[in-house]
Amino acid sequence: MLGEEVLLALGLFVPYWLEIGPSGFLMCNMETLKITGESWSFLELEVMIYAGGMVDRNTVKKAVKGVDVVYHLALNWDGATWKHQNPIPDLFDVNIRGTFNLLEEARLEGVKHFLFASSGAVYGNGDLEVVDEESPCKPELFSGEPGPAYGILKFATERLCLLYYHVYGLPVTALRIGYVFEPPSKGEIHVEDVVQAFLLATLNRKAYGQVFNVACEPTVSTRKIRENLGWKPKFTSRTYKVHPLEI
């Protein structure tokens, strides 16, 4: 995938757990990718920063133009407070409409691959000993932070993305990610292992139209991503233990 043009869509909270500046920690681990622009540079990358939310169709259109791969990590959820103090209908309106704008412009632009950062919160808090990608999703029962509305939103957005694969043929992949950390903070899965999952999935035909768990907990099966994409967590320390569905 060296030389592909990519768009990394980030929200208010994502840069917090991805740790590094306006591009997010994830972009810093993608130095093999070619990102063109003129307003900012980092690790020998030139990055175009687009000011504006994903609900602004014109901004999204400009951002997606000429792009081969879209990484959709954007989420409007009251920023670093991680609480839904804003009215839930407003949060859903912003995130669903914004995702629709990204998907529609990706479809019109002929984007080669659209990858969405979903969450393990979509499973809720059921009584299954182990969940895999075929397990029932009950996000309305999710009791972790920031609450069940988050799980419902992630699930609805994930389904919207997959709709574009089945109806329009847009290559889409959803990664259901556990609670991400970067030392010295604690969490459930190291950000470097998440990065590797995204990179292994990118432009991989085995990932098109698929959902993968990305976690390091015995209660979350990762057999599918291991067998299909060859993913194996290398950075996550087993000493960092939290409930796998806390984001």
Give me the mean pLDDT over the 80-109 stretch. Answer: 83
**Residue bearing the bigger pLDDT, 245 or 53:** 53
- Cα–Cα distance, 147 to 149 (Å, whole number): 6
Q: Which member of 71, 150, 165, 179 is catalytic?
A: 150
**pLDDT tens digits, 134-183:** 999 999 998 887 888 889 999 999 999 999 999 999 999 999 998 887 77
Determine the average pLDDT of the residues in 78-83.
56
Instruction: Pick the closest to residue 162 from 217, 216, 224, 212 (CA basis).
Output: 212
- In percent, the amount of the chain with pLDDT more than 70 equals 69
Tens of pLDDT, residue by residue over 194-238, are 888 998 999 999 999 999 999 987 889 999 999 999 998 888 855
Lowest mean pLDDT among 76-85, 93-102, 165-174: 76-85
Q: Fold for domain 6-229?
A: Rossmann fold (3.40.50)
Q: Is 240 a catalytic residue?
A: no
pLDDT for 49-71, tens place per residue? 666 678 888 888 888 888 888 88
